[in-house]
């Protein structure tokens, strides 16, 4: 995995992004002219209440949805010009996802769960095994590689899910309310995993959350309301999780 962080390189650029649903009087404007730049290696929180537009923005960033208008470039490439097949390829190669629901397959152990997306991508067996073990080690859950999801705590399972996301070495990691289903202790361990992952690999991390406590673990908070950015600031008193990831056998 790459460790280089290019602080001044614009990786994600959004210009006047709008997203609306419906027609006429029933039209809902989820995003209203959002413009922002996220540089390679940043750890960013997109924060806002329900209905603020943060989920719509994440879906556009993750290429699950298309903007009604505006432009979105990733690593200098215009994402709005890609067809559905090209977007799917980009999701598989450059963008990874972690969701609130952990979505590990119950009949596969941790190692097989991490390997599975790379198997679909037709990555050779030896390469995907090496990448999966490296990701599990980085997330502090390598000792759990032969365990099944039912044998893990919520925090352990979420860290395995993060390992699955980052094993193919993506450029951008999108996390949608990744601690929402966890207790506070497990949630802090997962946030610590994101911080360590970000610091050690240089991957760009974007966490979508409504929780100010979660957002304070990022380097930068972008706040949305009514489909618009209302604040964008660096975190002055960033919360850091000091417990090492090697606690994979615990919470």
pLDDT at 56: 95
In CATH, 41-67+92-234 is 3.40.50.300: yes
pLDDT at 245: 55
Detail the DSSP E strand segments found in the chain.
10-21, 28-39, 43-47, 69-74, 77-78, 95-98, 172-176, 204-209, 220-225, 228-234
CB-CB contact of 56 with 31 (8 Å): yes
Q: With 0.85 as the threshold, say if the pTM is over it.
A: yes
Domain ranges of the chain: 41-67+92-234
pLDDT at 248: 47
pLDDT at 9: 62
Averaged pLDDT, groups of 10, the chain, 251 residues long: 53 97 90 97 95 95 95 94 90 87 92 92 92 92 96 93 92 92 86 88 94 96 97 95 56 52
Starting at the edge strand found earlier in the chain, the sheet holding 95-98 runs 95-98, 172-176, 204-209, 43-47, 220-225, 228-234
Model confidence pLDDT, tens digit, residues 147-192: 999 999 999 999 999 999 999 889 999 999 998 888 888 888 889 8
CB-CB contact of 209 with 46 (8 Å): yes
pLDDT at 49: 93
């Amino acid at each position: 995995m790459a460790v280089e962080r290019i602080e001044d390189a614009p990786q994600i650029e959004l210009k006047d992004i709008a997203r609306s649903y419906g027609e006429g009087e029933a039209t809902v404007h989820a995003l209203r002219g959002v413009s922002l730049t996220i540089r390679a290696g940043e750890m960013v929180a997109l924060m806002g209440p329900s209905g603020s537009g943060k989920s719509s923005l994440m879906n556009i960033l993750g290429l699950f949805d298309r903007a009604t208008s505006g432009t979105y470039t990733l690593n200098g490439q215009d994402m709005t010009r890609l067809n559905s097949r090209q977007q799917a390829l980009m999701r598989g190669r450059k963008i990874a996802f972690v969701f609130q629901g952990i979505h590990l397959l119950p009949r596969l152990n941790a190692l097989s769960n991490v390997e599975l997306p790379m198997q679909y991508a037709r990555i050779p067996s030896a390469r995907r095994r090496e990448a999966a073990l490296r990701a599990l080690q980085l997330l502090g859950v390598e000792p759990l590689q032969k365990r099944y999801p039912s044998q893990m705590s919520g925090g352990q399972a979420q860290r395995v899910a993060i390992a699955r996301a980052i094993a193919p070495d993506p450029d951008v990691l999108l996390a949608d309310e990744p601690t929402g289903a966890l207790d506070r202790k497990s949630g802090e361990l997962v946030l610590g995993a994101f911080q360590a992952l970000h610091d050690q690999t240089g991957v760009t991390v974007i966490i979508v959350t409504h929780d100010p406590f979660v957002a304070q673990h990022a380097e930068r908070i972008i706040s949305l309301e009514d489909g618009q950015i209302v604040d964008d600031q660096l975190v002055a008193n960033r919360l850091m999780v000091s417990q090492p990831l090697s606690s994979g056998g615990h919470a």
